[in-house]
Amino acid sequence: MNLHWQEAGREAFRNITSSTTRLIRLVIIFVALTGTLAWVEESTVRGFVNEANTYLNEGGATWILQSPQAISGNACDALSTVEGVLASGSLRDDHSGLTDVLLPRTTIPLYSVTPGFFLVVNANHGFDPGLVVSDQVFDRYGLAVEGRIHTTRGEVPISGMYRYPEDGRRSGLGFAALQVVTSDEIFDECWVTMWPTIEQTKSLLYLSLIPHYASRQTQIFQLNPQHASVYDVGRYDHRLTRWTPLISLVISLILAVTTVWTRRLEHASNLHAGVSHFFLHLQLLFESISWVAIATIFCIPIVIVTSWGSLSDTICVMFTGVRVLVSAVSGAIMGTVIGCSLIRESQLFTFFKYR
């Protein structure tokens, strides 16, 4: 058995070095086809990932239930445990503010929030007590995390910062400070970030409402109305490029079968000379593995580079390209086996006649 493997390997090596296998041409074709399919699939998936991240980061998936002095902080924070809810928290406008001693003409609006609210606005904060301020306040007053701001009320510690860009989301928190309070209190608004955004999940916001405190001013709205109210995640499952792994498998299979079949006279002659089908399979598999391995080495950088630029889930984006590559490799191996199986010694004279 070892002799079969060694001899098949030597014969495959001779065919490769003598250009009988046409290795370079096969590598170029494989890289061109598989690399293109992997690039198309990864680029498409990366576009979906970036679109979804933009939707989330710009507040498209965040919904607000507003009812002055009628929101239960505990009930609102508890919504974060519901499947499909990424974060939830309550907010209350205390109609007060902070005045810096160096800039007394500017007042920083102050809001009271529950601990879960910091996750909704993606605040970067520590565990020490203190205010969490917006990036505009942070930059304007030259503050630092774990630093202090000197106000007319005295020194107030800063425990974190959040970004609230002017990208279409509701104004009010772009220049403000947040102070965390206990969830047992009553608030004005309940903010919930959900994914995916569906009508059934939005209706859960009303669970945070205290019925006998609710007023006619109760309303539910999207944080950033510039985005669609419902994000259609089903578009990903129905993308045209979802078939690229299958396409790469079929194309590689046809390429491998064609490669073997174009040398059918040679292979039939070997069988007629006493070479076993098992030996011929081994030889052709060694040849196939050689050009597939080299082509794969060239395809890997394409898969890696194409995944760059994804706002998140880079590994998942890369995996879609790897899936195309693995399918192509599998197709090439399968095609070699199938192509070899189609050749019979009895076909020798027919091949010779119609060569």
Q: Are residues 78 and 168 in the same domain?
A: yes
Distance (Å, whole) CA 297 – CA 17 = 19
Verify that 183 and 80 share a domain, yes or no. Answer: yes
Along the 355 residues of the chain, how does pLDDT read in single tens digits?
445 667 766 777 777 777 777 888 999 999 999 999 999 999 999 988 888 888 888 888 999 999 988 999 999 999 999 988 999 999 999 888 887 767 777 788 999 999 999 999 998 876 677 889 898 988 888 877 777 887 777 788 888 899 999 888 898 899 999 999 999 999 999 999 998 877 777 888 888 988 887 777 789 999 998 888 777 777 888 888 899 999 999 999 999 998 888 876 666 666 666 677 787 788 888 888 999 999 999 999 999 998 887 767 788 889 999 999 999 999 999 999 998 887 765 555 565 555 5
What pLDDT score does 333 carry?
93
Do residue 269 and residue 166 come from a single domain?
no
132 in the same domain as 212: yes
- Domain edge (last residue) among 226, 259, 287: 226
The count of C-alpha atoms lying within 13 angstroms of the C-alpha of 334, restricted to the half-sphere facing its C-beta, is 13
Same domain, 211 and 97: yes
pLDDT, one tens digit per residue, over 306-327 is 888 776 778 888 999 999 999 9
Where is the domain boundary, 207, 226, 245? 226
Q: Are residues 132 and 46 in the same domain?
A: no
Distances (CA, A) of 193 to 24, 77, 181: 53, 11, 20
Same domain as 239, residue 196? no
Q: Is there a single domain that holds both residue 69 and residue 110?
A: yes
Q: What is d(CA 250, CA 261) in angstroms, rounded to the nearest whole number? A: 16
Residue 311: strand, helix, or coil:
coil
Residue 37 and residue 119 in one domain: no
Q: Are the C-beta atoms of 248 and 32 separated by less than 8 Å? A: no
* 133 close to 177: Cβ distance less than 8 angstroms: yes
The span from the CA of 106 to the CA of 294, in Å, is: 66
Same domain? 68 vs 175: yes
CA nearest 72: which of 215, 192, 191, 190?
A: 190
**248: closest CA among 22, 21, 36, 26?**
36
Whether 75 and 212 map to the same domain: the answer is: yes
Question: Is the backbone peptide bond immediately before 129 cis, with ω within 30 degrees of 0?
Answer: no
Domain containing residue 30 = 2-54+235-353
Domain boundary among 226, 256, 271: 226
What is the number of structural domains in the chain?
2
pLDDT of residue 120: 94
Same structural domain for residues 214 and 258?
no
Q: What tokens were used for 51?
A: 């679109």
